[in-house]
Amino acid sequence: MKQYGQFYINGAWVDPVDPQGKLEVIDPSIEEAFAEIALGGKGDVDRAVAAASAAFDSFYLTTPAERLELLKSVLSVYQKRAEDLAWAISHEMGAPKKMALENQVGSGGAHIRTMIDVMKGYRFERMIGKTLVAKEAIGVVAMITPWNWPLNQITCKVAPALAAGCTMILKPSEVAPISGLVFAEIMHEAGVPAGVFNLINGDGPTVGEAMASHPDVHMISITGSNRAGVAVAKAAAATVKRVHQELGGKSANIILQDAEADFRAAVREGTLECFDNTGQSCNAATRMLVPQERMDLAASVAAEAAGSVTVGPADRDGVKLGPVVSQMQYDKIQDLIASGISEGATLAAGGLGRPEGLNRGYFVRPTVFADVKPGMRIEREEIFGPVLSIIGYKDEEDAIRIANDTVYGLAAYVSSSDLDRARRVARRLRAGNVHINYPAWDTYAPFGGMKQSGNGREYGEFGLDDFLEIKGIIGYAE
């Protein structure tokens, strides 16, 4: 078992000064520990914040051209370490090895490349009359990232923070921390100045709370559960720092009546998108809305799609869905599947327990419920597993009403053969992202939520904006 007993602070690997014990990192494919990390405390946060504060005095004065070259160096080393990152992700959160390399690691590289491109044309200063309007680094940033897309969420915070001239402290998820430690090695090899990037492992109530409440942290960016987001906001309130939250979702996928020729394809694609990353995506299209009269057809197509997905250990060739990340997640998903059955939804595919032939590992059967009614737990709660709920609607107005009837507002999906109609429906959906006809992933599009899905935006220039303050220097011009 590999031991990771140090943190990366001020350009060096150091022992904790406020140790809070050790934590085993479990490989969810086999339910066994493959690594052990040290957990830090408030003293470690103080040490990292002091390093970031000292580094900020010079780093924020670097030129955009200098920071652009630094990002290019990070990307070069990141690409060199791709296999190491994929190994870590495959073991720590169960992503199948091909998916871990191409999608999980690939998404992180895409964010760095996008930020390099954005930096080439980004305007940090402009004149309005005689006033210079400057966008400057917000300061020291604390970052809390999740276990489901570890590198996607690390890079879509770190890359814009570097581009802005911020210094930072990262707390990766203690459930899947190893990829974050490899990322720290990448930052060091890339020549990121000491103190600009720091990493501490720890839990939310200890390290997360200390970062959020620290008076010398100027911004905290969290991707995680709504519970964690609320806790961070409360801890941050006393110091009036910027709080950037990317939280949960319960995204609707409206398949409109006019999707005549492509109805089967839209249902199949929507089902597979829901199951991507074993359903462990905050923007997963978990509520599929179909015309009531097509419920039986939709259930049949979705069940067929579910049956086509190969589930198994992350290191097995041909596997599309690995395990969910932990026993706690597995138990939560099983409880919600049981609630769907008991509340009267029609089980079209999957169900309770592991898939056939898998006797250990946190594997969940790809599950489809039809005839789901608004108000059922599986329709209201974020499941974070491969579970699809199909809901019938009467007409377009009913579909929009059902889609918007949620406390969440992260993403939504619309399928239609009439693009103008899809555009009209998209404008009425209260979500930060709306996808029409399953478009390709776009790292330049703003990513973030409305309502209880959070605030602030990530990706591309929008992510860079969120790490900057606006300063007006009045009378700058003669």
Name residue, tokens 């970031």: 52
Active site residue 282: yes
Q: Could you tell me the two tokens for 271?
A: 């089902």
3-state secondary structure of 436: strand
Q: Could you tell me the two tokens for 79?
A: 């690409």
Cβ atoms of 181 and 251 closer than 8 Å: no
**E-assigned strands of 160-247?**
167-171, 197-199, 219-223, 242-246
Q: Could you tell me the two tokens for 234?
A: 């409360």
* Partners of 392 in beta bridges: 290
Q: Which residue of the set 156, 282, 379, 396 is catalytic? A: 282
Cα→Cα distances 252→265, 276, 279, 414, Å: 17, 15, 14, 8
Q: Could you tell me the two tokens for 424?
A: 């009209």
* Partners of 26 in beta bridges: 33
* Residue 163 phi, psi dihedral angles, 5° rounding: -60, -35
Task: Say how far apart CA 243 and CA 220 lie, in whole Å.
Answer: 5
Nearest one of 272, 351, 354, 273 to 311, comparing CA atoms: 354
Instruction: Name 388's Cβ contacts closer than 8 Å, sequence gap at least 6.
Output: 270, 271, 274, 275, 286, 288, 302, 306, 367, 368, 369
Active site residue 246: yes
Task: Say how far apart CA 236 and CA 263 lie, in whole Å.
Answer: 47
Q: Which residue of the set 92, 174, 209, 246 is catalytic? A: 246
Count CB neighbours of 94 within 10 A.
31
Name residue, tokens 């899947």: 176
Which sequence positions are flagged as catalytic? 246, 282
